[in-house]
Amino acid sequence: MKAITAISTLCFLLSCSPEPVKNMKDLEQSMMDLKAYQENLGEGIRACRLEDSRWLLDGMDSTLRTVAATITEHHRMDKPFAYYKKRLLDKPLSELESAFDDNDTAKARAQYVILVDKCNKCHLDLEIDKEVKY
Q: Kindly state whether residue 67 falls inside one of the protein's structural domains.
A: yes
CATH number at residue 43: 1.20.120
Q: Kindly state whether residue 11 falls inside one of the protein's structural domains.
A: no
Q: Kindly state whether residue 1 falls inside one of the protein's structural domains.
A: no
Q: Exposed, middle or buried: residue 56 (CB in 10 Å: 0-12, 13-18, 19+)?
A: buried
Q: Kindly state whether residue 18 falls inside one of the protein's structural domains.
A: no
Q: Kindly state whether residue 39 falls inside one of the protein's structural domains.
A: yes
Count of the separate structural domains present in the chain: 1
Whole-model pTM?
0.78
Q: What is the domain range of residue 116?
A: 24-125
Q: Kindly state whether residue 53 falls inside one of the protein's structural domains.
A: yes
Q: Kindly state whether residue 85 falls inside one of the protein's structural domains.
A: yes
Contacts of 134 (CB under 8 A, 6+ apart): 42, 112, 113, 116
Q: pLDDT by residue for the chain (134 residues), tens digit each? A: 555 655 555 455 555 555 555 666 787 888 899 999 999 999 999 999 999 899 999 999 999 999 999 988 777 888 999 999 999 999 999 999 999 999 999 999 999 999 999 999 998 888 888 889 88
Q: Kindly state whether residue 70 falls inside one of the protein's structural domains.
A: yes
Residue 115's nearest CA partner among 55, 52, 35 is 35
Contacts of 110 (CB under 8 A, 6+ apart): none
Contacts of 92 (CB under 8 A, 6+ apart): 111, 114, 115, 118
